[in-house]
Structure 1
Amino acid sequence: MLIYKIFRAPEWAALQAAGETAGAPVDVADGYVHFSTAAQARETAAKHFAGEDGLLLLALEAEPLGTALKWEVSRGGALFPHLYRNLRLTDVLWSRPLPLVDGTHAFPEDLA
C-alpha cells in the first residue's frame, strides 16, 4: 500500500541533500512523520497547505517501513500512518509536483 507525504520545496531539498529528515516542523514537534493514505491526501492538502504553491507529493510503500510505521487515530477518527523514525530518501518511491490550479492542489490522476 502506498502512503503519501506532502513537503514544501525546501523540505524536499533538505531530504535530498541529507539523505534523511525528521520531517517538517509539525513532524518534529509531534515526534513522528505524518503521512496520509490516497483517500486522505487531498483533505490533508486542503487543511494544512491551503493556498501554498511549490509543494511536492512523495509516495512510499508502507510495508517496508515495518514497525516504525504506526496507524493512529487522528482527524475525524480515521487511522493515519505515522512514522516513528527519520524519513530516509531511500524510502521514497517517487516525488511529483503538487501545483495549485485555481486555488486547489492538482493531484496526480494515478494516485493509488
Structure 2
Amino acid sequence: MTLILHITTRSHWQTAQQEGAYRPDSLETEGFIHCSTPAQVVGTANAYYHGQSGLVLLCIETDRVEPEIRYEAAHGESFPHLYGALNLEAMTQAIDFEPEADGNFTLPTALN
C-alpha cells in the first residue's frame, strides 16, 4: 500500500462526502489534484498553509484511486498529482490538520 496525502479545508471535505467524490478547484483550473507523500506534506503545509486552521489531511491509498496518478516535478521534487476527481473509496482516513502555536505544521501522530 502506498499512501499519498492531500490538504484541504474541513468544508471542502464535507462537500466531498455529500457529493460522493472530491473535486477541488485545482481540478478545474489546473486539471489535477495536488498531493504529497508523507515525507513532503509538512513542507507543503508550511509553504502554502502556514497558520491556517480548519484543515483536514486526506489519506489516500494509491491502489484504490480511480483517476490516473502522475508523479511530476515541482520545486525540485516529484509530487503525486491525481488527474480526475478523487473517489472516496480510495480514502483511508481524514485527519484534522491544525498548525502548532507558531503557525507551523508537524506530521500527525497517526502517520508516524
Q: Greater share of helix residues, 1 or 2?
A: 1
CA distance in 2, matches of 1:27, 1:44: 18
**Would the alpha carbon gap of residues 56 and 65 (structure 1) be closer, same or farther in structure 2, given more than 3 Å must change?**
same
Q: Which amino acid aligns with 2:28?
A: V
Look up the SS of the partner of 1:15 in the other structure: helix
Question: Residues 68-89 of structure 1, C-alpha deviation per residue, up to 9 Å, x if partnerless?
Answer: 11111112x2111000110122
Which residue of 2 is the match for residue 64 of structure 1? 64
Map 1:12-51 → 2, pairs under 5 A: 12-23=13-24, 25-51=25-51
Q: Can you give the 5+ residue segments of structure 1 that lack an aligned partner in the other structure? A: none
% identity of equivalent residues: 29
Contact between 1:5 and 1:59, CA under 8 Å: does it hold in 2? yes
Please give the root-mean-square deviation of Cα atoms over the aligned residues, in Å.
Answer: 1.7
CA distance in 1, matches of 2:18, 2:27: 19
Runs of 4+ in 1 over 4 A off after TM superposition: none
